[in-house]
Amino acid sequence: MADAIVTTSETRKLAAPLSLDCGRSLDNVEIAYEAYGTLNASRDNAILVCHATTGDQHLASPHPITGKPGWWARMVGPGLPIDTDHFYVVCPNVLGSCMGTTGPGSLASDGAPWAMRFPVITIRDMVRAHLSLLDLLGVERLHAAVGGSMGGMQVLSLAANWPQRLERALVIAATAEMPAQNIAFQEVGRQAIMADPDWQEGAYYGTGKSPDAGLAVARMAAHITYLSEETLSEKFGRRLQDREAKTFGFDADFQVESYLRHQGTAFTERFDANSYLYITRAMSYFDLGEEHGHRIAEALAPAKNVRFCLVSFDSDWLYPTVESRKIVHALNAVGAPVSFMELAAPFGHDSFLLDVPALDRVIRGFLGQ
Amino acid sequence: MADAIVTTSETRKLAAPLSLDCGRSLDNVEIAYEAYGTLNASRDNAILVCHATTGDQHLASPHPITGKPGWWARMVGPGLPIDTDHFYVVCPNVLGSCMGTTGPGSLASDGAPWAMRFPVITIRDMVRAHLSLLDLLGVERLHAAVGGSMGGMQVLSLAANWPQRLERALVIAATAEMPAQNIAFQEVGRQAIMADPDWQEGAYYGTGKSPDAGLAVARMAAHITYLSEETLSEKFGRRLQDREAKTFGFDADFQVESYLRHQGTAFTERFDANSYLYITRAMSYFDLGEEHGHRIAEALAPAKNVRFCLVSFDSDWLYPTVESRKIVHALNAVGAPVSFMELAAPFGHDSFLLDVPALDRVIRGFLGQ
């Protein structure tokens, strides 16, 4: 894989307050982002990549805490499907997150961390922040917006609300309205965090304690939903972890237990618990048709000149194909150009992050050059 | 529905120590059970009903804590599919539980609660306890053993290990070897409990504190897996709870959130957290073929004269039909008489507890009179 070269990795402060769906507005919003490639003279080669729940701006550069490759390093770079030799690729950390963009761990105007005083944000608020950043970068109209999972929801919100800002929308493994089962799993994660006494009603910053145990449990529960039963069976099955027999105890006897515990613990080293609360809240609130009598088609009607591509994965039970089909039907109803593919991939919801060559081909083909 | 009349509701102490799979043995084991109907003179009309993870002996009598009807009141009683006018129906609380049968909350010989000193038990150990109770009740050979979910696993273990003790085995929504995804969900539940500081390494009895917050989170996560996505969508969808609009906060805005929180909290009033640890541990350890080179057929070979009936539900994603099919294939391989039905029911794994008339007919037909 060719090395992706980060053109820019910085944090920009918005000049104007950011108006939010809740009715409040946020001053002094900072947005951390990375950009790859170069904006051309006609400023028409920009691609916005929107990250998922616990993702960040480190799209194709090593993560500063974990040292791991960027979360889409396989997809973004010179000669790769999102080709940085041709495109100017911008990936902002979402509003409410914890990797440099303003969120509950940031300082409020009184000099103390926002914590739970931070306003509850929506997916559309995240998009507002993205657009303010694009304004600063001189990008009026995107060649494309691309995202998987919560990233796909941002792309949908962008297309529905600001259709003039993009030519193409690539929505992977997403939904137009969060289903009840997903709301339920998101609620379990939040309850796990808020049940941890170290959460301290969210005011744990600077106390030397943080709700790591609760956050780890939240991550463990969520992580199961990102994988397919097939992946779990093939990767782990009932194999034991570094032992010949069951211990008749509560250690991690099984590899899948050990793996999950590691996923939970490692997550707490790179993510803020309050950000997890706010971002999952934004997801559970996501409902594209809410202001349109719950008619997704009506919400997407303004986007009828945007070119859409929808992708789902056959093993994804968290955002299954039926959710993508609803969007496709709505786009068909308003006459928007849309292509749709359900890809065969064994990895469940996480397929959009993993080695699925068919996805590479779809993305490369849809983006053109 | 006809009133079921409990013939007996009592606790019996086993005379002999109970030998366990872990190599230890338990003295002074007590078993709480309920019995319905009357054992006939030839002692051949007894049916053992095995309860699921968080079930209990209150099969068709009101629960003493919640006041709710017994968990299978719709199925067990005079004239009902498990007809107490004809059968003597015995339902013991499983070993390791908390409704009267010896478990981690019981007193050890030193007069203090067992807590985490309680031995790790298996599904087969639960069956050993059942058989010791049946010995006391004068039941040498069962007309049938019946169970759903973990109850079905007990029935499988009974048939495989003590085939001479039963004529019929009715196994509903179960598996012969716990799949990795289920082990993963069970581990999340245990980690939620053990992350709660009030768990106190399990020694919370008598401290005035118990890990209710962790137990509630564990229950919430498990509860989602018991339901189908369809049930959650139809029952709750994205409907709001007693409000006209989202609050932009972290209260239970959605009905599904409120419902889940209630499920979690209510559970802590009737169940012991350590029992939850031990029982889910027994489930994750369940692997009928483990001692037979992981060949389920070899494990079931001794049961080839037992009449089996396997039932799965098409909406059950926790113990899906494929798990029942594996058992059916193994029984076919050893020439055991077996009937198998995948029933259409919308309720997910919980279908075995809910109003599925087709299940009633299957059970009535299989048990005969």
**DSSP single-letter state for residue B200:** G
pLDDT band at A2 (very low <50, low <70, confident <90, very high): very low
Please state which CATH number belongs to domain B182-280.
1.10.1740.110
Average per-residue pLDDT for chain B = 96
CB within 8 Å: B248 and A181: no
Query: Is A22 close to B188, i.e. CB distance below 8 A?
Result: no
Chain A partners of B19 at a C-beta cutoff of 8 Å? none
Cα–Cα dist B357/B362, whole Å: 9
Confidence of residue B6 (pLDDT cuts 50, 70, 90): confident
Of B120, B179, B191, Cβ closest to residue A229 = B179
Of B250, B253, B262, B322, which to mutate for an interface test with A (greatest number of A Cβ within 10 Å)?
B250
Q: In angstroms, rounded to a whole number, what is the distance separating the alpha carbons of residues A256 and A224?
A: 10
What is the edge-to-edge ordering of all strands in the sheet holding A88-92? A6-13, A30-36, A88-92, A46-50, A144-148, A168-172, A307-313, A338-343
Q: Which of A89, A95, A94, A96 is nearest to A72 (CA)?
A: A89
Query: Tens digits of per-residue pLDDT, B300-330?
Result: 999 999 999 999 999 999 999 999 999 999 9
Across B219-239, average pLDDT = 96
Establish whether domains A6-178+287-367 and A182-279 are of one fold: no
- Within 13 Å of residue B3, how many CA atoms lie on the same side as its CB? 4
CATH number of A6-178+287-367: 3.40.50.1820
pLDDT of residue A254: 97
Burial classification of residue A333, based on how many CB atoms lie within 10 Å of its CB (0-12 exposed, 13-18 middle, 19 or more buried):
middle
- Separation between Cα atoms, residue B141 and residue B152, nearest integer Å: 18
Q: What is the distance between the alpha carbons of residues B211 and A34, in angstroms, rounded to a whole number? A: 43
| A70 contact partners, CB below 8 Å, separation of at least 6 | A4, A58, A59, A60, A61, A62, A63, A76
Taken as a whole, chain B contains a residue count of 369
Question: Is residue A30 predicted with pLDDT exceeding 80?
Answer: yes
- Per-residue pLDDT tens over the stretch B69-95: 999 999 999 999 999 999 999 999 999
**CA B26, chain centre distance (Å):** 21
CB contact under 8 A, A250 and B188: no
> CA nearest B189: which of B210, B214, B226?
B214
Spell out the CATH class of B6-179+287-367. alpha beta
Q: Which of B121, B217, B243 to mutate to test the interface with A (most CBs of A within 10 A)?
A: B217
Q: Residue A23 has which token pair?
A: 């009715």
Per-residue model confidence (pLDDT) at position B346:
95
A1 pLDDT above the threshold of 50: no
- Residue of chain A minimizing CA distance to B239: A180
Strand stretches in chain A, DSSP E: 6-13, 18-19, 25-26, 30-36, 46-50, 76-77, 82-83, 88-92, 144-148, 168-172, 307-313, 338-343
pLDDT for res B1: 42
B218: pLDDT strictly greater than 80: yes
Q: How confident is the model at residue B7 (pLDDT cuts 50, 70, 90)?
A: confident
Give domain A182-279's CATH number out of 2.60.40.1180, 3.40.50.300, 1.10.10.60, 1.10.1740.110: 1.10.1740.110
Query: CB of B184 within 8 A of CB of B157?
Result: no
Q: Is the pLDDT of residue A345 over 80?
A: yes
**Which of A185, A198, A246, A265 best probes binding to B when mutated, by most B CB atoms within 10 angstroms?**
A246
Higher pLDDT, A1 or A88: A88
CA atoms of B305 and B162, how far apart (whole Å): 12
DSSP B69: P
d(CA B121, CA A166) in angstroms, rounded, equals 60
A238/chain B closest Cα distance in angstroms = 6
Which of B195, B250, B287 has its CB closest to that of A190? B250
Supply the pLDDT for residue B334. Answer: 97
Inter-chain touch B184–A287, beta carbons under 8 Å: no
Mean pLDDT of A340-347: 97
pTM (2 d.p.): 0.96
A322 neighbourhood in chain B, CB within 8 Å: none
CB contact under 8 A, B197 and A194: no
Residues of B belonging to the active site: 149, 316, 349
Containing H/E element for B361? Answer: helix B357-367
Chain B residue numbers touching A284 (CB-CB < 8 A): 254, 257
Rounded to the nearest integer, the mean pLDDT of chain A is: 96
Rounded to 10°, the helix A273-285/A150-161 angle is 50
**For residue A292, is pLDDT > 90?**
yes
Nearest CA to CA, how far is B118 from chain A (Å)?
10
Residue A25 β-bridge partners? A19
Task: Work out the number of other CB atoms within 10 angstroms of the CB of residue B249.
Answer: 12
Q: Of the listed A56, A83, A316, A350, which one is catalytic?
A: A316
pLDDT value of residue A5:
76
Q: Name the one residue in this structure whose structure tokens are 């009740």.
A: B137
Q: What region does A293 belong to: left with phi over 0, alpha with psi -120 to 50, or beta?
A: left
Distance from the A151 Cα atom to the nearest Cα atom in chain B, whole angstroms: 21
CB within 8 A of B82, min separation 6: which ones?
A: B47, B49, B72, B75, B76, B89, B146, B363, B367
State both tokens at A227: 């994988």
A149 counts as catalytic: yes
* Interchain contact, B183 vs A238, CB within 8 Å: yes
What tens digit of pLDDT does each residue of B110-149 get? 999 999 999 999 999 999 999 999 999 999 999 999 999 9
CA distance, residue B349 to nearest chain A CA (Å): 14
Evaluate if residue B2 carries a pLDDT over 60. Answer: no
Mean pLDDT value across residues A293-308? 97
Q: Hey, where are the domains in chain A?
A: 6-178+287-367, 182-279
Q: Residue with structure tokens 């076919």?
A: B332
Is B220 in contact with A249 (Cβ distance < 8 A)?
no
> What pLDDT shows up at residue B251?
94
Q: What is the mean pLDDT of residues B30-35?
A: 98
Cα–Cα distance measured from residue A107 to residue A112, given in angstroms and rounded to the nearest whole number: 5
B361 min Cα distance to partner chain A (Å): 31
